[in-house]
């Protein structure tokens, strides 16, 4: 079965199957436009896509997948450091981008191939092997540059079919969201989901409450920051009453936001849990209860366990907390070029270590309690490694030492704060400096200039002392 089953088989020519912002294509037009891209790409193994929230990104990603290449989405606002790393590490042979995009100005500069959604072609590209990589998604660890998680076509198919079952997601749905198109949430669930399962798509550009309100969806996706902003605008929230299912993920949905949404929209949101490396593994179901503060039960084909520090399984009593480990059809194939990092994520009996701390109740319901590593920050649903931001700060000539932490924030879940030792520095200047080197969302929201960082007897920075008091 083709990965993008519905797209491959549809004969529907109605003009607005897939809409991004104010432009749309029918199913047949999207297939023919993407086929034109695939024709150009013949033979390419890895293809980067400048992943703006645009129709060009949808056509480019689909073109890459039809051609059997592994698609590497590049955040469109990635600064030179992050972009060079992704292009070099992935070995992408070409960068697909909207027409008019200038040549890449960097140390690694694959040729730019413009994507024109108005082109059409009808070549039949054979369906690639399901074991082949479909996407390489760059994701942060606690230290160093982001790692490329290799996701096979089979894993993506398994994830989407599991979600179709859990959420009763069908061609009768109209999916609406405004998520970025370079992560699992917006790209795998939010674009490849409709193309496999046949629901129409409205990508609203930016995820503003008024745009969600006007989208007329049956199914809505958002990160908790988006849901909290919608709950703060009752008029927008009330417009979602006609929907079928509201889904939250990528970070914990605060219980007051769950309650406000239930009250204003009439829908208790479905929460689901996942990671770039595992895709979505646990979820509440459309035909079952939704409980604030919990993320539901394993999806079809996924097994979970919670273990103590010695790796011994803990009881499913709703109280015992330990590391959540998962296995099943949705798991990634490993990090590109990083067997060392890869080995660290697997147990001896081949379970994936999520690094999240969880409990499981007697009824199988999972609750995510926190993360084992404080150096992984979740801000606005984005995963950000403290080490990557520290490394960027340390390249500034005035910075001598830097320590980055995440602290609770009412809108973003966590916000990035940088503690910096240096000479003649300004807060705004350092924030802009990071925003220029890396993706904009990795910038600190606050910089605190300090005389020294607290260190233990071994000289290691004690981050907990930075945030206490």
Q: Which residues bind ligand MCA (CB under 6 A)?
A: 77, 179-180, 183-186, 206-207, 223, 225-226, 249-250, 274-276, 380-382, 431-432, 435, 440-441, 443
Q: How many residues bind ligand AMP (CB under 6 A)?
A: 19
Residues whose CB falls within 8 Å of the CB of residue 265, separated by 6 or more in sequence, listed in order: 237, 238, 240, 241, 243, 246
Closest CA to 422 of 430, 413, 412, 414: 430
- Measure the CA–CA gap between 201 and 24, rounded to whole angstroms: 9
CA distance linking residue 289 with residue 269, whole number of Å: 10
Cβ 52 to ligand MCA, closest distance in Å? 10
Residue 117: CB minimum distance to ligand MCA, A: 21
How far is it, in rounded angstroms, from Cα 193 to Cα 189?
5
Angle at 288 between CA 287 and CA 290, to 5 degrees: 125
User: Tokens representing 378?
Assistant: 């979740």
Distance CA 429, CA 417 (A): 14
Relative orientation angle of helices 224-231 and 255-265, to the nearest 10 degrees? 50
* Site for ligand AMP, residues 200 to 259, rule: CB under 6 A: 249-252
Nearer to ligand MCA, 92 or 181 (CB): 181
Choice between 128 and 178, CB closer to ligand MCA: 178
Nearer to ligand AMP, 18 or 384 (CB): 384
User: Distance between alpha carbon 392 and the CA centroid of its chain, in Å?
Assistant: 22
Identify what 180 binds: ligand AMP, ligand MCA, none; CB under 5 to 8 Å per kind. Answer: ligand MCA
| Cβ(422)–Cβ(462) below 8 Å | no
All residues at 6 or more sequence positions from 135 whose CB lies less than 8 Å from its CB, including other chains: 70, 71, 72, 73, 150, 151, 156, 187, 188
Taking the least distance from each CB to ligand AMP, the nearer of 184 and 466 is: 184
Among 220, 273, 419, 433, contact with ligand AMP (rule: CB under 6 A): 273
CB of 355 to ligand AMP, least distance (A): 6
| Minimum gap (Å) between residue 255 Cβ and ligand AMP | 12
Which option in ligand AMP, ligand MCA, none does residue 440 bind, with CB closer than 5 to 8 A by kind? ligand MCA
Binding mask 284-323 toward ligand AMP (x if CB under 6 A, else -) reads -----------x----------------------------
Mask 376-405, x = binds ligand AMP (CB under 6 A)? --x----x----------------------
Residue 271: contacted member of ligand AMP, ligand MCA, none (CB under 5 to 8 Å, by partner type): ligand AMP
Minimum Å gap between C-beta 162 and ligand AMP is 15
The neighbouring-strand residues paired with 271 are 248
- The span from the CA of 66 to the CA of 134, in Å, is 10
Distances (CA, A) of 381 to 31, 74, 206, 215, 348: 31, 17, 15, 22, 31
Q: What residues from 137 to 156 belong to the interface with ligand AMP (CB under 6 A)?
A: 139
Cα separation, 212 vs 269, whole angstroms:
15
Select the residue interacting with ligand AMP from 29, 161, 173, 271 (CB under 6 A): 271
Whole-angstrom Cα distance, residue 179 to residue 206?
A: 7
Binding-site member from 35, 57, 132, 354 for ligand AMP (CB under 6 A): 354
If you count them, how many residues does the chain have? Answer: 469
Q: Which residue, 33 or 434, has its beta carbon nearer to ligand MCA?
A: 434
Other CB atoms within a 10 A radius of the CB of residue 202 amount to 24
Residue 368 interacts, among ligand AMP, ligand MCA, none and using kind-specific CB cut-offs from 5 to 8 Å, with ligand AMP
8 A C-beta contact, residue 388 and residue 140: yes
Return the one option of ligand AMP, ligand MCA, none that residue 354 interacts with (CB less than 5 to 8 A, by type): ligand AMP
The binder of 121, among ligand MCA, ligand AMP, none, by C-beta within 5 to 8 A per type, is: none
Tell which one of 108, 115, 166, 184 touches ligand AMP (CB under 6 A).
184
Q: Least distance in Å: CB of 251 to ligand AMP?
A: 5
Residue 223 binds which of ligand AMP, ligand MCA, none (CB < 5-8 A, kind-dependent): ligand MCA
CB 364 within 8 A of CB 358: no
Q: Which of 316, 367, 323, 374 is nearest to 345 (CA)?
A: 323
The nearest distance, CB 231 to ligand MCA, in angstroms, is 13
CB closer to ligand MCA, 214 vs 435 = 435
Written as six digits, the tokens of 276 are 């770039």
Q: Which parts of this chain interact with ligand AMP (CB under 6 A)?
A: 139, 184, 249-252, 271-276, 295, 354, 356, 368, 371, 378, 383
């Amino acid at each position: 079965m083709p990965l993008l089953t519905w797209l491959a088989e549809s004969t529907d020519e109605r003009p607005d199957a897939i809409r991004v912002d104010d432009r749309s294509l029918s199913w047949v037009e999207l297939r023919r436009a993407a086929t034109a891209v695939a024709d150009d790409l013949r033979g390419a193994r890895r293809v980067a896509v400048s992943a703006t929230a645009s129709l060009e990104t949808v056509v480019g990603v689909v073109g890459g997948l039809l051609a059997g290449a592994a698609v590497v989405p590049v955040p469109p606002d990635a600064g030179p450091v992050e972009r060079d790393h992704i292009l070099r590490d992935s070995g992408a042979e070409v960068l697909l981008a909207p027409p008019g995009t200038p040549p890449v100005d960097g140390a690694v500069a694959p040729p730019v191939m413009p994507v024109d959604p108005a082109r059409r072609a009808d070549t039949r590209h054979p369906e690639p092997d399901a074991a082949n990589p479909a996407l390489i998604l760059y994701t942060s660890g606690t230290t160093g540059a982001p790692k490329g998680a290799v996701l096979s076509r089979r894993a993506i198919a398994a994830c989407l079919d599991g979600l179709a079952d859990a959420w009763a997601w069908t061609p009768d749905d109209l999916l609406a969201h405004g998520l970025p198109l370079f992560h699992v949430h917006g790209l795998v669930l939010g674009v490849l989901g409709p193309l496999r399962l046949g629901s129409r798509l409205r990508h609203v550009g930016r995820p503003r409450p008024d745009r969600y309100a006007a989208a007329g969806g049956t199914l809505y996706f958002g990160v908790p920051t988006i849901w909290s902003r919608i709950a703060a605008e009752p008029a927008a929230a009330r417009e979602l009453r006609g929907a079928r299912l509201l889904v939250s993920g990528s970070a914990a949905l605060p219980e007051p936001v769950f309650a406000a949404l239930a009250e204003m929209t009439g829908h208790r949101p479905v929460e689901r849990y996942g990671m770039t490396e595992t895709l979505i593994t646990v979820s509440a179901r459309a035909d079952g209860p939704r409980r604030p503060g919990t993320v539901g039960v394993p999806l079809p084909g996924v097994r979970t366990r919670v273990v103590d520090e010695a790796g011994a399984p803990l009881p499913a009593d709703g109280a015992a907390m330990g590391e959540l480990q998962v296995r099943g059809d949705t798991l990634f194939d490993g990090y590109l070029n990083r067997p060392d990092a890869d080995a660290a994520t697997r147990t001896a009996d081949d379970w994936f270590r999520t690094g999240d701390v969880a409990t499981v109740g007697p009824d199988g319901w999972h609750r995510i309690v926190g993360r084992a590593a404080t150096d992984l920050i979740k801000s606005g649903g984005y995963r950000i490694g403290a080490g990557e931001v520290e490394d960027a700060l340390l390249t500034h000539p005035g910075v001598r030492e830097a320590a980055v932490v995440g602290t609770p924030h009412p809108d973003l879940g966590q916000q990035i704060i940088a503690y910096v030792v240096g000479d003649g520095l300004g807060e705004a200047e350092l924030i802009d400096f990071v925003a220029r080197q890396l993706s904009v969302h990795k910038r600190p929201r606050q910089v605190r200039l300090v005389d020294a960082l607290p260190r233990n007897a071994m000289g290691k920075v004690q981050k907990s002392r930075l945030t206490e008091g």
